[in-house]
Amino acid sequence: RIEAARCPDVVVAQIDPRKLKKKPTVNISISGCQPAPEGYSPTLKWQQQQVANFSAVRQSLNKHKNHWRSQHLDSNVTMPKSEDEEGWKKFCLGERVYSEIDALSDSENLGIDYMKVGFPPLLSIVSRMNQATVTNVLEYLISWFGEKKFTPELGRWLYALLACLEKPLLPEAHSLIRQLARRCSEVRALEESKNEEQISALNLIICLVSRYFNQRDLADEPS
């Protein structure tokens, strides 16, 4: 009460007028996806077929999840902890992609070294991932993709993680997949060599996000 009694009834804030002259920075994200390069926009029939295939994959995964979860992992498979971002990037993408090495250093082809080329999203692996881990790993890979190029290793894991996402989507997962679709459209628009296989993979991810997960404002207009 003594301290309150010492406070003045009216307080005037001291504002530096020079700071008011500076223009504030506002980050505005584009709501939709950038259109596909001319001649590469997927047809509606193709998109519908991909959604049907994806739905079948999800149903099969849910049906057999308990079986695959009970299978023993190979001795060389050590899944990182959910919060280990760098560990998951190396696990999914491999040292070659993670370290951006053009070619494997050893020329002896004595077998696949998954530490170098990354572990594929095997059912025995993804079936062990709870929703928190699925969302975390998806966030790690989308963050990586935000600054790096698209690779087959990345594409396989993105597809698998989308197949593991449960509906209804959590708010963070909803935001992540929209971010993913926009990034795919950016990379697709900048694809100079017009690599059909890569554009098709990017089209697929945009299609699944927009049409399976009902983010229709991000959908490609049928060609």
Per-residue pLDDT tens digits for 22-65: 554 444 445 688 998 888 999 999 999 999 999 999 999 999 99
First-last CA distance in the chain: 73
Helix (H) or strand (E) holding 46: helix 44-69
Q: Which residues contact 71 (CB under 8 A, 6 or more apart)?
A: 124
Per-residue pLDDT tens digits for 159-218: 999 999 999 999 999 999 999 999 999 999 988 788 889 999 999 999 999 999 999 999
- For residues 126-135, give the mean pLDDT: 96
Residue of higher predicted confidence among 104 and 37: 37
Residues 209 and 183 sit within 8 Å (Cβ to Cβ): no
User: Which residue segments constitute the domains of the chain, with CATH numbers given?
Assistant: 39-100+113-218 (1.20.58.1070)
Q: What is the band of 138 on the pLDDT scale with cuts at 50, 70, 90?
A: very high
| The predicted structure's pLDDT at residue 114 | 77
Query: Which of 4-8, 10-14, 27-31, 115-119 reaches the highest mean pLDDT?
Result: 115-119
- For residues 136-144, give the mean pLDDT: 97
How far apart CA 144 and CA 132 sit, in angstroms, is 18
How far apart CA 62 and CA 54 sit, in angstroms, is 12
The chain-wide mean pLDDT, for the chain, equals 86
- For residues 131-143, give the mean pLDDT: 97
